[in-house]
Structure 1
Amino acid sequence: MGLFRNQSVDPPTFLMTGIPGLEGKGLWLAIPFCAMYAAAILGNALIILAVAMVPSLHKPMYLFLSMLAVSELGVSLSTLPTVLNVFIFDAREIGMGACFAQMFFIHCFTLMDSGVLWAMAFDRFVAIYNPLQYVTILTSPRVAMMGFGIATRSIVLMAPLPILLRRLPFCGSNVLAHPYCLHPNLIRLPCADVTVNNQYGLFVVLSTFGLDSLIIILSYIMIVKTVLGIASKEGRLKALNTCVSHFCAVVIFFIPMIGVSMVHRFGRHASPLVHALMANVYLLVPPVLNPIIYSMKTKEIRKVLYKFFS
């Protein structure tokens, strides 16, 4: 148990453990997980539908919001099948091809999340720093090109990961610490040198999450500098209020990601339960909370959703 079968006969398979230490409570764990997935899928689908169907929402801010909803919907749908299999049906085995495909889509949509967040930060910066030129700078074709570039960057950077993993021999343990396939978890399993994989993974993290977070920080520095130059207190508060939803989205995306990275790199002696819980928070909490935050803080979205439900 926990060892790969002969690779000359069959391709290797992986075993997903779900939540370490809680393997016998799958049905109980399925209840909160299913509730969170339902909230994430419904909330993000409604955001996409609202922006698509209402012409008054065809503005850069809402177009970027719909892109964020698409990427978070992709993350939720990428992890949902194996989570349900593990917790409800106790089906823990997954083939190499399916595992690598899931890993690709999870990380690809997560990179899109990060890219859309920096695009939204740039949108808020332009709206506050140069409001008179906002419409001419962020035209619909430019917004579409930014979205296309973000998606292309994610696909191109993630495509080598399955290829680099596929070339390695998996002849040791095949147990994954999560109910889905993640690269940091898979990279520990090969019985060969994984230096190239680690170096490429570090390059991807620095060139995406690192660069995106730097752009977001610089955007907010410029936003704060511009807001401080506004004479009236009401004007300053109004300008800052337009950034609240985006700032909350940035916090609930990057804080769990930093926590997962810290635990992965420096918490090797931490309980497997801690690793599993951090990964689940990182992948599940942003898709659940972002639609709620934007629905509460954005009057136009709130009006459209109210019309839908009434």
Structure 2
Amino acid sequence: MPLTFRIESAIDGALARAGGGAPPPRLTSALHHAVKPGGARIRPTISLSVALACGDDDPGTADRAAAAIELIHCASLVHDDLPCFDDAAIRRGKLTVHRAYSEPLAVLAGDSLIILAFEELSRATPARGLPLVAELARFTGMPHGICAGQGWESEDEIDLATYHRAKTGALFTAATRMGAIAAGHDPEPWTELGARIGEAFQVADDLLDATQTEMQTGKPMGQDALHDRPSAVGQLGIPGAIRRLEDILSGAIASIPACPGEAMLAAMVRKTAERLTPVHHRTPAE
């Protein structure tokens, strides 16, 4: 069964449960607007890929873990777009939730998606559900999760690596670790892979923000400079950021633990590398 089908089926099931009974219609619609249609679903794809590499002996739990990670990611985008943060008008090529439904409903939609993510994990196999809840909580909240990452933007002094690990890297680390847990494996050997992929995505996002247009990406560009946020481009320049991205992705492949699906995961990371470093951004050495 294709990973995309498994991911979308799990997300659809979660949204259907959120819309059961007689919920507020506009808030229910706002949840769907925030989640569907999705982006690349990179985080849940990584999580399921790790579960498959580790044997995937409990597909239902792996699917719920993947859906939970994506629901948290979507919630973070809803909140990140709010007027108090980026005040973005466009996300994934359409109006952001607060522009389409109102700021109060956007806050409630983001909050509801966070709760829905943990509800999904509560339905997982009991022996693995609790560790999965703990992992997702760890990488969502404080002191090192995505909430901390957003919080660093309000500080006067910011260490770029710490900021990136929390803001973007946290959910990628959660993805690899939760994929292992869902398949009954020790998550620790998978930490470095998730952290490296997360750092690569943040550097790539910094490059996109500095070099692409809203029409190309489906979201506002130039936000780092506009909000005076730390970025790899601001610290290293565009050529330096590109070199940093390539180094990170090479290290990610080398960090994959020995497992039955090692070759498959290496191919996935290489595909990710190609997606993040388009030809016109690659260094001449390539």
Same fold, TM-score > 0.5, yes or no: no
User: Could you tell me the TM-score, scaled by structure 1's length?
Assistant: 0.31
Higher helix share: 1
Between 1 and 2, higher relative CO (CA 8 Å, sep ≥ 6) is seen in 1
User: Could you tell me the TM-score, scaled by structure 2's length?
Assistant: 0.33
